[in-house]
Structure formats: C-alpha cells, structure tokens
C-alpha cells in the first residue's frame, strides 16, 4: 500500500472509528442483493460520455465551413500539437490518427525491425502486442505487479537479450509504471523506452507528466479515453528531430515542411495523419480536461477511503513516484477469501445487478492464440531461430498476471468518477451489501 493511501486509510479509520455499523445500515448493507431477490442500490445511470456543448459544435462547423479539412491546408492540428505539448510539458508533439499508429510510428522510427524483440506487459490493451507483431518483432511479456496492475519493473532486466530493441511500459488505467526502475535499466542497456500513455493523460511521475520520460510517449484519443475526439492519437518527445522523423513516417515519407506537389521522401512510412476535425474537437475537449481530472481524483480518493474499510477489497497501489493518477480506470483487487469464495465473475455480476456497471478487466494477453499463431508462422520461423522461439514459449509465463486476470482484477470506468460524491456512496454501499451477503450468494 502506498504511504499516501495508508495514511489516508488510518485517518479515515480514526475519524469513523466505531461508526462502521451505523455506516453499513445507513447505506443499506442489511438489504438483500438483487441476486437474492432484493432491490438494487441504484437505478440512476452514471454520467454519460463523451461530454460536449456548443464549443465543440462551433469548432467542428468552423472547420467544415473553412473547407480546410486536411492538416496540410489548415492550422488546427498544428495548433493542437503546440497546445498539447505545452499542457504536458514536452518539447514536441505529433498528432496521429489514433494511439495504435502513435505506438507503431514510435517503434518503427526508433529502429525496431523484423527479428528484434520488444518488452511489454501482458496486462494491457491488445494494440500493444499488435504493433510489435506488425513490425515482425517478438513480443516479450514481463509479468504484472498485482499491487499496482503495472509491469513488474524488477523483472525487466532479466528479459533483455541482444535483440531487445525497445521497452514499452504501459501506464495502465492512469496509474504510472515504476519509471525509477525502468529508465535506469533501459539506459544501462541503451534500449529506447516507448511509454504507452494511452490511458494516462495528465498522470504524473515525480510531478512531471507521464509520457515525457521515454524516447517517446504515446497517447490515444479514442472515445473511451480521458481526452477524446472519437479517434486520435499523439506522440510526445523532447527530441525534436525524432518527432520530425515520426512526422515523415506518419505522412507517407514526406517531412513536415514538404508541401503540395513537392515529392521529396525522407524515409519509409504510411498515412497516419489526424484530420482537422479531430484537432478541432480535441482543442475544445482540452478546455475540460483539467477539471474532469480533478473531479475523478477527488471521487477516487473518497471511494478508496470507503473501500479500504471493506475486507477483501484492495484499491490499486501507486508507486512512490506517482504524484498524480489519471484514473482512466478505477482498479481494485477482489479477494474472494473475504467473500465466502464467490468467484470474481459472480461478484461482478452481483454489482452490475445493483446498478453499478463493473468490469472483470483484461484477460491474459500473452496467452492469446493469435500471438502464438503469428510467431509460429513461416515469416517468424525465417526471422528467429528454433531455439529462440522455443525459449519464448517457455518464458511466456506470467503467473501473477494470470491470477490478476482470473481472480482479482476489477475495474470501474473513468466516467463513473465524474458525478457527485453520492455516486461513490452508492458504489461502496453495493459492495458492502454483497460482502454482507456473500455467504448466501455462495449457496446460489
């Protein structure tokens, strides 16, 4: 448990000492869960997403009526890049079509080639492994630290080989991976770090934004993300030359200053450009990002204080260096021992029925059959020795992650943290209710 959380926990415990029972009945723990025939804690919906008003409408209409829908003709995407870099405290930014293409562009420009290896966590979105496979490189999974849901940074060095061409930590759920352990190992072995910050807009490590520590930091603006334009992405870097090379890669080989019919090619590439419409939406959405982030943090801390009182519910821990959590997901561990051994799936279903939409979280990505199918394909067998592929299979073991996926990891979406405090009271009440009736639920 982080010091911060522990301290808060004790303060909260001291303040409510002896009041536990009163609280429980006040919030309906004595009522039956819906799964046992009771009434739901909540019938109201949580805040909807995305959020917009006339600001977005005007921004989109202005682009429409300008006829400048392409970043080459307009100035909106360029303006977004400048403002996003400023907000995040990075020297340079490149907007992209989506987060996946931000990751792919970063890895390709940093020199990840066919036959190379990339280190990544198994507790993440599938895009992370897809970009590695798209470059015909080998994804090397390092187990998860179940207390933080992040890559277990202490295990990265042992996974490095002479073919490791990049390390891709993911700041999962808006929490921040242990950069104090990752960055020195990367530096020692001269391996570039691509931070996947797709879920961690405004998160901070030692008061500096996550996504500004690696050679690049990649963001997604897909509709579920804390900053969104339906689709979109960005690469941040403090290396302006690197961003210029990313520009050429993302714009079919043509540099930032190439115009019109000036067909000069810098290097290989593809088309991953952002449209002016996306840029306009993002500039409008950015006027809300700080306030929304503050609301999520206040609600998340208030919720954690309540959940820490419930045996078997462990809100995710943050490393010492994480000075701001973006709470893209509110993540916690569920310990079935404290809930009469009812499996996670039943717990999640019971919460859903109480009107609290709950997710069982990711499955074990490293075990997806499509990965094995890819690396045993003709192309991979030409790129990697039989021994290397056999060793990959042997090493592709992430037992802590397996347990987290199967038994413990539970999430709420960021949108659930955007309403009033009373929404948090409902969440806690529903969990208390299930805890109080776990024995009966186990018999159903």
Residues in contact with ligand PLP by the rule CB under 6 A: 98-100, 124-125, 127-128, 170, 196, 198-199, 220, 222, 233
Q: How far is the CB of 365 from ligand PLP (least distance, A)?
A: 11
Q: How far is CA 365 from CA 155, 360, 361, 389, in A?
A: 18, 14, 11, 18
Residue 375 region by backbone torsions, left for phi larger than 0, else alpha for psi between -120 and 50, else beta: alpha
**Is 410 strand, coil or helix?**
strand
Please, are residues 265 and 254 in contact by the beta-carbon 8 Å criterion? yes
H helical segments located in 38-175? 54-66, 76-88, 99-109, 127-134
Nearer of residues 98 and 314 to ligand PLP, judged by Cβ: 98
Nearer of residues 342 and 398 to ligand PLP, judged by Cβ: 398
Helix (H) or strand (E) holding 437: none
Q: How far is the CB of 416 from ligand PLP (least distance, A)?
A: 17
Measure the CA–CA gap between 428 and 5, rounded to whole angstroms. 17
Q: What share of the chain is helix, strand, coil (3-state, %, to 5)?
A: 45, 15, 40
Nearer of residues 233 and 269 to ligand PLP, judged by Cβ: 233
Nearer of residues 218 and 348 to ligand PLP, judged by Cβ: 218
Q: How far is the CB of 222 from ligand PLP (least distance, A)?
A: 4
Nearer of residues 28 and 99 to ligand PLP, judged by Cβ: 99
Q: How far is the CB of 240 from ligand PLP (least distance, A)?
A: 24
Q: How far is the CB of 15 from ligand PLP (least distance, A)?
A: 36
- Quickly tell me which residue has 């310990």 as its tokens: 335
DSSP conformation letters of 274-318:
PPHHHHHHHHHHHTTHHHHHHHHHHHHHHHHHHHTTSTTEEEPP-
Nearer of residues 347 and 362 to ligand PLP, judged by Cβ: 362
Nearer of residues 334 and 362 to ligand PLP, judged by Cβ: 362
Tokens of 53: 């008003």
Please, are residues 120 and 151 in contact by the beta-carbon 8 Å criterion? yes
Nearer of residues 104 and 183 to ligand PLP, judged by Cβ: 104
The closest of 331, 333, 290, 301 to 172, measured between CA atoms, is 331
Please, what is the end-to-end C-alpha distance for the chain in angstroms?
A: 34
In the complex, residue closest to ligand PLP by CB:
99
Measure the CA–CA gap between 380 and 388, rounded to whole angstroms. 11
Residue 253 region by backbone torsions, left for phi larger than 0, else alpha for psi between -120 and 50, else beta: left
Q: How far is the CB of 421 from ligand PLP (least distance, A)?
A: 27
Q: How far is the CB of 96 from ligand PLP (least distance, A)?
A: 9
Q: How far is the CB of 211 from ligand PLP (least distance, A)?
A: 12
Nearer of residues 233 and 315 to ligand PLP, judged by Cβ: 233
Nearer of residues 98 and 414 to ligand PLP, judged by Cβ: 98
Q: How far is the CB of 322 from ligand PLP (least distance, A)?
A: 16
Exposure string of 286-308, with b = 16+ CB inside 10 Å and e = fewer, is: eebbeebbebbbebbbbbbbbbb
Q: How far is CA 22 from CA 41, 304, 432, in A?
A: 17, 19, 12
Q: How far is the CB of 177 from ligand PLP (least distance, A)?
A: 11
Q: How far is the CB of 134 from ligand PLP (least distance, A)?
A: 12
Nearer of residues 168 and 306 to ligand PLP, judged by Cβ: 168
Q: How far is the CB of 185 from ligand PLP (least distance, A)?
A: 21
Nearer of residues 98 and 285 to ligand PLP, judged by Cβ: 98
Q: How far is CA 436 from CA 18, 21, 42, 391, 420, in A?
A: 18, 11, 17, 47, 25
The closest of 71, 136, 141 to 375, measured between CA atoms, is 136
């Amino acid at each position: 448990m982080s010091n911060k959380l522990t301290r808060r926990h004790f303060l909260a415990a001291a303040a409510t000492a002896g009041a536990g029972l009163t609280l429980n009945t006040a919030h309906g723990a004595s009522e039956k869960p819906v799964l046992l025939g009771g009434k739901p804690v909540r019938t109201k919906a949580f805040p909807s997403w995305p959020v917009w008003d006339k600001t977005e409408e005007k921004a989109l209409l202005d682009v429409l009526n300008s006829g400048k829908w392409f970043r080459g003709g307009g100035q909106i995407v360029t303006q977004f890049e400048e403002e996003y870099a400023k907000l995040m405290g990075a020297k340079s930014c490149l907007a992209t079509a989506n987060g996946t293409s931000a990751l792919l562009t970063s890895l390709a420009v940093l020199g990840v080639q066919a036959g190379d290896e990339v280190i990544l966590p198994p507790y993440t979105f599938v895009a992370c492994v897809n970009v590695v496979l798209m470059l015909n490189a080998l994804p090397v999974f390092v187990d998860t630290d179940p207390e933080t849901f992040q890559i277990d940074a202490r295990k990265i060095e042992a996974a490095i080989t002479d073919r490791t061409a990049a390390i891709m930590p993911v700041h999962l759920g808006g929490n921040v991976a242990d950069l104090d352990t990752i960055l020195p190992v990367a530096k020692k072995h001269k391996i570039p770090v691509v931070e996947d910050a797709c879920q961690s807009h405004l998160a901070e490590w030692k008061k500096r934004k996550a996504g500004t520590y690696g050679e690049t930091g990649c963001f997604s603006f897909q509709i579920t993300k804390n900053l969104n334009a339906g689709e979109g992405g960005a690469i941040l870097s403090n290396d302006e030359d690197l961003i210029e090379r990313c520009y050429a890669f993302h714009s079919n080989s043509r540099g930032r200053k190439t115009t019109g019919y000036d067909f000069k090619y810098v290097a290989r590439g593809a088309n991953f450009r952002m449209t002016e419409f996306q840029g306009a939406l993002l500039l409008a959405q950015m006027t809300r990002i700080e306030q929304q982030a503050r609301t999520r943090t206040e609600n998340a801390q208030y919720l954690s204080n309540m959940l820490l009182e419930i045996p078997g519910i462990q809100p995710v821990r943050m490393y010492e260096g994480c000075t701001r959590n973006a709470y893209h997901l509110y993540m916690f561990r569920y310990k079935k021992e404290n809930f009469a051994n009812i499996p996670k799936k039943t717990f999640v279903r019971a919460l859903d029925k109480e009107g609290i939409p709950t997710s069982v979280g990711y499955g074990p990505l490293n075990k997806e059959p499509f990965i094995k199918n890819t690396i045993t394909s003709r192309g991979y067998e030409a790129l990697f020795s039989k021994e290397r592929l056999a060793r990959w299979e042997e090493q592709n073991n992430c037992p802590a992650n397996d347990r987290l996926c199967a038994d413990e990891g539970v999430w709420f979406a960021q949108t659930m943290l955007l309403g009033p405090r009373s929404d948090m009271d409902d969440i806690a009440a529903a969990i208390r209710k299930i805890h109080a009736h776990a024995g009966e639920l186990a018999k159903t």
